[in-house]
Chain A
Amino acid sequence: MGRFLAGRVLATIPVMGVVATIVFLLLRLAPGDPAAILAGDAASPEHIAEIRARLGLDQPILVQFAEWIGRLLHGDLGTSIISNQPVTTLIGQRLEPTLALATTTILFAVIVAVPLGVLSAWRHGTWIDRGVMTLSVLGFSIPVFVLGYLWIFAVAMQLQWLPVQGYVSFRQGFWPFLERLILPTLTLSVIYIALIARITRASVLEVLGEDYIRTAHAKGVGERAVLTHHALRNAAVPIVSVIGIGIALLISGVVITESVFNLPGLGRLTVDAVLARDYPVIQGVILLFSAAYILINLAVDVSYTIFDPRICY
């Protein structure tokens, strides 16, 4: 196991290197000029050229790439071209809302979806199963922004139970923190509930047809114990995989939800940086996202050994 972990961690280095190279080249090939954006609407071409030169954007791509990689190897993600702030500071400012929303969403989704999926599999072919699957299709189909606006209209505008928008750090009070996360969590978790419930149903359904389940029933094991200890545990591997992908997707930014509820997360930082052609910020966040994907996948792989002892590395 130790060797496996060490190997996987070491393998992240070339993967990140490839990601860094591709991102750098794609950004330089994409249209747009951060110097023109920085200079503003009334700027003359001469002013733009001066700024481009000061930022080093007039240098050959290879020179720019070498400089960036050199800084990266020293742990420096660079400085935003637009705001002149270190990229690590910008990412740090946006990390908390993203992690908070990812945590509440995935927790809520798992708490709701796994029992629903198990219930649906257990009551396969009944109205309960059809009901859960119908809701699941609905969950996939409703665009996040429609659902978000509906929640805002009903809960925030009409009932006035919760605020429309914004984020408050938990350091400024638990309830102000929580009340601003409830609607985004409800909105965003719907699609994950639909996804996890369907996968859980399919996995549990497959396991329920296995011989050892029949044996457990024949031994007189109770229905709940069969479902939780025998069926769900053996069906866990694909469910955990989907949850892992969900976490990675949530960390890498949920732009629409962040925009609708005005959450200052990494998704908005990424989109703003792309729109402003803020190369260092885009490069920094994409490297962060790729690292998050790699580490979450590693954690998911390791978790397989807990659920299925036959798997060992």
Chain B
Amino acid sequence: MKIIIVGLGGVGSILSSKIARYLAYSTKEMTTLWLVDGDTYETKNYERQEFDLLGNKAEIKAAQLSSEFANLSIISYKEYINADNIFDVITNKSIVFLCVDNHKTRKIVSEYCSTLQDIVLISGGNELTDGNVQIYMRKGGVDKTPSLLAYHPEIQTPTDKLPSEMSCEELASSQPQLYFANLGVATIMCWAFYNIMFSKKPITKPEIYFDMLTMAISTQTRTVQEK
């Protein structure tokens, strides 16, 4: 089994530890965990992100998890994912956790996954106090749930930029986020993973929303539209 976590910020840095612990102690399947991020962990990230050293996020998280879970095979990929390198990272029959902060990357990854035969893509994102998780699954070359783009025009036609396209000023001036919102997304992504791995029921509600302020969580029915 190949599991890939793309983006190791507020969501991905939390999620990677939980997934690694689960894989190390709760499954017998041989797993390779890929950690993908071109970004650097800095002191400004202390508030929301879980690392033990400063440096490239993929590299230091891989080192941290390798020392904690020696039986896991962990690979770090120290670049932002984009249309040119996605082939190197995401391969058929992978499980991909997408924890990025822009819709442009979500579109690239979702469109690439739609060319693969068998793939599971779990994508999460949040605003200040709410967020959502989407599950995109393909089996035998057929969409079992809608792609990330199907119900979301803001991902279909993104107005934001890739991290590699942003200036230092743009990167530094990101919107405020809450650790608790990141934690909520990471937790729901873990639930989605568990359901996909162990539930025999087809997933008919592959989009999950939560709202911290109303303390609500709900799932939404999504159907694959015929092309």
> Does A pair with B?
no
